Structure 1
Amino acid sequence: MVLRAHHSGQTVSLLPEVLAVEDLAPDDFAGTSESQRRVVEAHLLESGVTARVEEIEPFVRRLHYSIVDAPLVSIVIPTRGGSAEIAGQDRVLVVEAVRGIVERSTYTNLEFVIVADAETPASVIADLDELCGDRLRLVAWNAPFNFSAKMNRGAAAARGDYLLLLNDDVEVVTDDWIESMLGLAQQDGVGIVGAQLYFEDSTVQHAGQVYTGGVAGHAAFGWTGGRDDSIRSMMVDHEVSGVTAACALIGRALYFEVGGFTLSLPGNYNDVDLNMKVRAAGRSAVFSPWVRLYHFESKSRNPKILESDLQTLQARWSRRMQVEMYSRMM
């Protein structure tokens, strides 16, 4: 820049003005990881935000936000009680998903809102009742498949302040996944929080959604587990264009404020539409790489995307989905 300014005949000057002062000991230096950690802690204190700062590696920090008031979280899961072979073993997807949540999750103020098709075997309902006890809210569904409608019905039946939208074909990896999502969701301006999802072979399925050219995709799709980029996107909570509803946390009030899932997108892109409505309401979508689950994608439904789904999405949001604003992991 200096060379170009000189070549064009411009003068480079030093302004004798103090723009900032480092509040550090004489032998300290603002460029160290420790001093930057103290800056973050001071900012949190001044902002009235209670959080613990963890140094993951030099210059990479994770904030563990304290949960305010331990609100009830309603886990909304649509299912038909189907089975699939996972890791060489046949398993009832929704039962094993719920079992993992019950056995591993360290956050306990939960209810399970299971929206079950009429075809769901009685044995599956019995297993869910045994796992969940009085935390189970069973919602009947006897219409043709419509993911959006099923989730809306579950949300209407939920009693929690927050809705954890979840597919039935997942398996929890991180025990504190709900606290991590809830801590982020309670921060000012955050509307919806998503997770890092892995395929069965441990490659990445989802690290936030990417919107470009009017089409939606997933950041870091197919990456080998443990891979990262130069700015540590897989180690830092950050804003994204959207998050998949295979695992997403949103305030119940906000969910209904933006109209929940649109019935015009019964099978695909309904979560993209929801994210766009959340962002249009002035809230952000945040991806947390510290919330980790396996997602046995398409084990429980036909993954085919209809041309009509894409047309509906683009008719609504194409102009706002032309340029990806957040992710480098494409």
Structure 2
Amino acid sequence: MLILSRTYARVLRAARRFDEAIIANEQLLKSRPQDRAAMYELGRALHSAGQRRRAVETLALTANEGSVAATRDLCRYGARGRLKTRTEGIFPPEDYDSFTKSNPTPQPPPTSTTTHFAVRLGAPSSPNNQTLRSLKEQSHAAWHVAHDDDSSPGQQPGMFDLVLPAGAVLDRHCLAWLNWAIDQTACTTVRADHDHFVANTDARCDPVLLPQPDFLWTENAKGIARLAAHGPGEARIAHLPLTLMTLPVDEAPVPRPLPDAPPRPITVIIPSRDNPKLLLAAVSTLLSQASEPDLVEIIVLDNRSRTRSAAVLFEHLAERANTRVLQFDEPFNWSRANNFGAVDATGDTLLFLNDDTEMLTSGWDRVIAGLLADPRVGLVGSRMLYPDETIQHGGFVFGMDNGPQHEGRWFPADDPGPAGRWIAVRQAVAVTGAFMAIRSQDFHALGGFDGANFAVDFADVDLCLRVRKRGMAVAYCGAITLRHHESVSRGLNLSRIQRARMRRERRRFEARWGEVARYDPGYHPAWTRTGCAYDGLQAPGLDEIVRHVLAGARAWIC
């Protein structure tokens, strides 16, 4: 009877009858409150039903009693901090101070040259100045405190300028590592990471672990980098993935202005099948939030809808000027459907949009126009939220143990992410095709989506990599936010046929892109590669540090 009860609960969850699965497991636990298998299955059912908080509480009870499967799921769901013991030496982000104490900065490899640093202090250099004290403890001795009337080091070979914020405290190997990176890369700017003191203590918090140089996010006057040495010559930038400076707690950051430009004609392409309620919300919110709705052309691709309600909506949509409903009478192929719609598009910009989204950001069309006005930007994506106000998509991360995954998944919508990355405008390795904007001429030059190899999954990521291969950036824009009822219209990948198709497409993607599909220049090597991205810290080895620094020159190019 016990086996039948457990099996029945699992079958209910597999059939997406999540509420019934929850009840079945709760009833089983009433008679067997210590049944770890039922507790674990209850946690999975709660998570599938979107009750993440209860799911985490339930899985934590099971994991901390020794369940390997529950431990794995907690880490995958971004709740590593609920474990009583660390796994594989990985520290949860909330235990950052312990991470720094357990992992002091190593010495750099020896170098053949010595860089002299002209250090400019952000506060008077009194004997008690904590910045000056940290300078005197440096393992690299070639430095001096520069003054405002000193000549620029840009005119002096072998000297680099280092401007330190007020209250900065340097790691004792800070200058030695900067010297090593300059020697190894011949770059004229070397950046490193920083963190902050907990108020009124010497404990550390809030690390800013930088990506490889990113012209959208780090490389400007209002970028997030705070520790950088500058030398003479044409700007070439290297990044050291080490926290070499600690600052007092920052004041509230000044919001950076969003990209902005007058909107250009844009064609929105939306495949849909028998999903009228959500499709109406997708179209109406997109138009109501546009600054120039008359410049927005809508093309809906009817993929064999059968219901009367869908037909009525299509008739209603077709009454709007600049809106068309085209028949896509083929088995569902997301890539081919979007390519089909792009042929008839008249806009300068194409926006591929899922029919299960709702636009939440006013003036989204101006932001897209502002980003695509920069010829260095080839494609634009957005932030997506689940209906329960948790993040569904904050860009992609490559190189995780379970393949490409969405950043920020299941974190609260008001969580800005590490260093504010989920609300930032920055580069990403890829973005979801649920909202993806690209110049029409670029899309056609690239040959569109690859429907022959990627009917549903990985087509969007594949296009992003082809954009990057042409030397253009994929821009993630956290300032554009949509609600996404993920996979409502076509369902999740639960059937045997759907899972098999997804595995085939993943194998094709990995075979095509190789190491590019596993390397993410935006993902700092101190973040764990197991479970959920940005949910654990692990000290990178010396070989990882060296590889990261030397890879910087080709960071965002495939």
CA RMSD of aligned residues (A): 2.8
* Matched residue, 1:105: 290
TM-score by length of 2: 0.48
* Matched residue, 2:272: 79
2:429 maps to a residue whose letter is: S
Matches within 5 A, 1:50-89: 58-68=252-262, 70-82=263-275
Unaligned runs of 5+ in 2: 1-134, 155-162, 167-219, 223-250, 494-498, 525-532, 535-558
Deviation at 1:66, TM superposition (A): 3.6
Q: Separation in 2 of the partners of 1:315 and 1:60?
A: 44
Equivalent in 115, 127, 133 of residue 301 of structure 2:
115
* Matched residue, 1:44: none
Is the alpha carbon distance of 1:123 and 1:321 closer, same or farther for their aligned partners in structure 2, counting shifts above 3 Å? same
Equivalent in 434, 438, 441 of residue 246 of structure 1:
434
Counterpart of 1:231 in 2: which secondary structure? helix
Is the alpha carbon distance of 1:30 and 1:153 closer, same or farther for their aligned partners in structure 2, counting shifts above 3 Å? same
**If you compute each CA radius of gyration, which structure gives the higher value, 1 or 2?**
2
* Matched residue, 2:521: 325
Counterpart of 2:398 in 1: which secondary structure? strand
Counterpart of 2:365 in 1: which secondary structure? helix
- Would the aligned equivalents of 1:60 and 1:236 in 2 still touch at CA under 8 Å? no
Matches within 5 A, 1:28-39: none
Is the alpha carbon distance of 1:221 and 1:184 closer, same or farther for their aligned partners in structure 2, counting shifts above 3 Å? same
* Matched residue, 2:422: 234
Q: Separation in 1 of the partners of 2:510 and 2:418?
A: 32
Q: Identity of aligned pairs, percent? A: 24
* Matched residue, 1:265: 454
Counterpart of 2:492 in 1: which secondary structure? coil
Pick which of 241-250 and 132-141 moved more: 132-141
**Alignment deviations for residues 199-257 of structure 1 (CA, whole Å, 9 cap, x no partner):** 11110000111111592111111111111234121332111111101011111111111
Q: Separation in 2 of the partners of 1:30 and 1:159?
A: 52
Report which structure shows greater RCO (CA 8 Å, sep ≥6).
Answer: 1
Unaligned runs of 5+ in 1: 21-28, 33-37, 41-56, 84-91
**Alignment deviations for residues 14-48 of structure 1 (CA, whole Å, 9 cap, x no partner):** 6864147xxxxxxxx9969xxxxx966xxxxxxxx
2:367 maps to a residue whose letter is: S
**Alignment deviations for residues 94-136 of structure 1 (CA, whole Å, 9 cap, x no partner):** 1221122233332321100111123254543443443461211
* Matched residue, 1:138: 325
- Would the aligned equivalents of 1:5 and 1:12 in 2 still touch at CA under 8 Å? no
1:275 maps to a residue whose letter is: C
Pick which of 298-307 and 313-322 moved more: 298-307
Deviation at 1:13, TM superposition (A): 5.2
* Matched residue, 1:167: 354
Equivalent in 391, 394, 416 of residue 207 of structure 1:
394
Q: Separation in 2 of the partners of 1:292 and 1:18?
A: 44
Q: Separation in 2 of the partners of 1:199 and 1:208?
A: 14
Q: Separation in 1 of the partners of 2:377 and 2:356?
A: 26
- Would the aligned equivalents of 2:382 and 2:482 in 1 still touch at CA under 8 Å? yes
- The structure that is strand-richer by fraction is 1
2:305 maps to a residue whose letter is: E
- The structure that is helix-richer by fraction is 2
Is the alpha carbon distance of 1:200 and 1:315 closer, same or farther for their aligned partners in structure 2, counting shifts above 3 Å? same
Q: Does 1:5 align with 2:139?
A: yes
**Alignment deviations for residues 269-292 of structure 1 (CA, whole Å, 9 cap, x no partner):** 111101000000111111111101
Is the alpha carbon distance of 1:122 and 1:187 closer, same or farther for their aligned partners in structure 2, counting shifts above 3 Å? farther
Deviation at 1:5, TM superposition (A): 3.4
Matches within 5 A, 1:310-321: 310-321=506-517
* Matched residue, 1:198: 385
Q: Separation in 2 of the partners of 1:76 and 1:250?
A: 12
Deviation at 1:153, TM superposition (A): 0.3
